[in-house]
A and B are shown apart, each in its own frame.
Chain A
Amino acid sequence: EAGVVQSPRYKIIEKKQPVAFWCNPISGHNTLYWYLQNLGQGPELLIRYENEEAVDDSQLPKDRFSAERLKGVDSTLKIQPAELGDSAVYLCASSLDAASETQYFGPGTRLLVL
């Protein structure tokens, strides 16, 4: 069974540029999460989807970050414009449903903003 797929794996951009990350969860998983992992820290939740609905986006900086999961499968996380402090690893995870406690993580996208 394929795991959570993320792309790109690495991205280098200049500040003020836009950037987008893509995630394909495990087939059949209804719940999708985006986490931010700063260097030397644990992941922190940005947004959680149940199917196509964002049910927890309280930690998403909405002035520059946006996310979508239009058909309840793939998801895209966007930053516009990027700032130096956005340099981090962006992790996507999925779980079978809201009642399932085990989350499966993708390899992450490492973003460097110059």
Chain B
Amino acid sequence: GDSVTQMEGPVTLSEEAFLTINCTYTATGYPSLFWYVQYPGEGLQLLLKATKADDKGSNKGFEATYRKETTSFHLEKGSVQVSDSAVYFCALSANFGNEKLTFGTGTRLTIIP
């Protein structure tokens, strides 16, 4: 079945550091890929998405590129801020008329000033 494997956390970085959170997936066909973020005390929010190979999703300085050859969708940001502290979830949607999201286990990110 479909699955998503995420870099285990927690991850702690200093402000302005470069961030990478790795995500790889297993799916049949051509899934859409997502990054969701969960800030403390809030619900999951869509951060960015990509629907086909080589697409790049971007939002709030975060980027991720859909790499079919490596089945990856790594999240990156060039300079993190304290406000980026949250839990980040990689997810896929299989696009077979089955619109459920399959999530990774989440990566907790803490940015220290």
Contacts and interface: CB of A to CB of B under 8 A. Distances in A.
Interface of A: 3-4, 31, 33, 40-45, 48, 56, 91, 93, 95, 98, 101-108
Contacts of B89: 42-43
Interface of B: 4, 32, 34, 36, 41-46, 49, 51, 89, 91, 93, 97-101, 103-106
Contact of B4 (A31, A42, A45, A101): A42
Contacts of A106: 43
A48 B100 contact: yes
Nearest to A44: B103
Contacts, number: 52
Nearest to A100: B99
21 contacts: A3-B43, A41-B105, A42-B103, A42-B104, A42-B105, A43-B103, A44-B103, A48-B99, A48-B100, A56-B98, A56-B100, A101-B32, A101-B49, A101-B51, A101-B93, A101-B99, A102-B49, A103-B46, A103-B101, A106-B43, A107-B43
A98 B99 contact: yes
B31 to A, nearest CB: 10
A106 B110 CA distance: 23
B99 A105 contact: no
A91 B44 CA distance: 9
A45 B93 contact: no
Across the A-B interface, give the 3 residue pairs with the lowest CB-CB distance, nearest first.
A42-B103, A105-B44, A45-B100
A32 B101 CA distance: 12
Given A101-B32, A101-B49, A43 B44 contact: yes
A41 B6 CA distance: 11
Given A102-B46, A107-B42, A45 B101 contact: yes
A42 to B, nearest CB: 3
A105 B93 CA distance: 15
B101 A43 contact: yes
B100 to A, nearest CB: 4
A4 B43 contact: yes
Contact of B106 (A42, A44, A103, A107): A42
Given A43-B44, A103-B46, 14 more contacts: A31-B99, A33-B100, A41-B106, A42-B89, A42-B103, A43-B89, A43-B103, A93-B44, A101-B32, A101-B49, A103-B101, A105-B36, A105-B43, A107-B41
